[in-house]
A = this chain, B = another copy of it.
Amino acid sequence: MSDETETRDRILDAARSAFLRHGTSGARMQEIADAADVNKALLHYYFRTKDRLAEAVFTREARRLLPPVLETLGSEMPLDEKVRRVVELYLEVLPEAPGLPAYVMAEMHYHPERLPAFVESLTGATPQAHGTRVRRQLDAQIAAEVEAGRIRPIATEQFMANLISLCIFPFAARPMLQLMMGHREGDFEAFVEDRRERLADFFLRSLRP
């Protein structure tokens, strides 16, 4: 049973790699089995279908990304700290996961109907509950900061969209960015390093009165 979970994890790792490189339907069960060093039949033994295997991978990856960010945004932490924390979280994890954001966004478009149940199983709460909790917390904080004259008025939706866009997009569009910027070996890593130091300030500065 240590073997059991070890094999299961090996399959998940192999599947993750294949799915991120080819997409769910582009990946081949045979390739995953080979990479996990097991037989194809074993994939079905553990996950029944390709679709469920993809779901397991998707869930495992999302669990690393969504909960910490939602928790941070919905917390009592001061607004500027939240911004720094979210930037930190994303720029820490995403460099280790090339292809993940693009894969996730594409799959979300291909199966939007699965999303609500997915988030629910992920957080233990209905999406609406999370949505409104984060939403209200940010609404209140932004209103208070505006009232105190520390930031300009901004719609909470735009605040969230801007922050998350700046964190995730460069990783999702990495091949295009590298091309546009004439990147060579290692340039992207340096770009990200620079970004880790400056992104939060860039964002916060745009909120100044």
Contacts and interface: CB of A to CB of B under 8 A. Distances in A.
Contacts of A49: none
A180 interface: yes
Q: Give the dominant DSSP class at A's interface.
A: helix
A109 B160 CA distance: 26
Given A105-B106, A106-B105, A172-B172, A158 B115 contact: no
Contact of A164 (B25, B128, B169, B179): B169
Interface string A173-209: 1111101111000000001001100110011011010
Interface of A: 20-26, 70, 98-99, 101-103, 105-106, 108-110, 112, 115-116, 119, 127-128, 130-132, 134-135, 152, 154-155, 157-158, 160-162, 164-166, 168-170, 172-177, 179-182, 191, 194-195, 198-199, 202-203, 205-206, 208
CB-based closest 5 A-B pairs: A165-B169, A206-B206, A106-B106, A131-B182, A25-B26
Given A158-B195, A205-B205, 18 more contacts: A23-B25, A24-B26, A25-B26, A102-B102, A102-B105, A103-B109, A105-B105, A112-B175, A128-B182, A131-B180, A155-B198, A157-B191, A158-B202, A161-B170, A165-B169, A169-B169, A202-B206, A208-B208
